A = this chain, B = another copy of it.
Amino acid sequence: MSDIVEPQDPCVERLAKLTGDRCKAKNAARRLKALTEKIDEAELAAEADVFRAMADPFRLAILQLLRDGELCVCEIMTALERPQSSTSHHLSILKRAGLVKERREGKWSRYRLSEGAVIEMMNLAGLMTDGREG
């Protein structure tokens, strides 16, 4: 019962074996632990939800269409030649992720892009893929 409270932290043990140097290992472990503690799991989960919503070519096509303005479900399904149920379903996913907004007008549901980072993210993704197949 004295100086340090972590006599055999498994993380340190692990890294000590890696480097062979127990002192280095402790520093590395401290650095990794600091990095890990900065990670907010709930926030990462929320961000993953956003990315998952954009991880489908059909939904990206919808977002592309909406760049030029508001459209209703029937216009989107017509333009992209997809069944109504599928179109509506994917729009609900985009809406839940906060990527699009809905405006009810009579029996029509008109969808538009959310203000904010949506367009920028699509542009960035475009940049990332340009290097590979352009």
Contacts and interface: CB of A to CB of B under 8 A. Distances in A.
A125 B120 CA distance: 10
A122 interface: yes
A125 B129 CA distance: 18
B129 A43 contact: yes
A57 interface: yes
A39 interface: yes
Judged by DSSP, the binding face of A is helix
A4 interface: no
Given A15-B75, A48-B60, A57-B48, A68 B35 contact: yes
Nearest to A66: B35
A52 B52 CA distance: 6
Interface string A48-81: 1111101111001100110010000011001110
B48 A51 contact: no
A1 interface: no
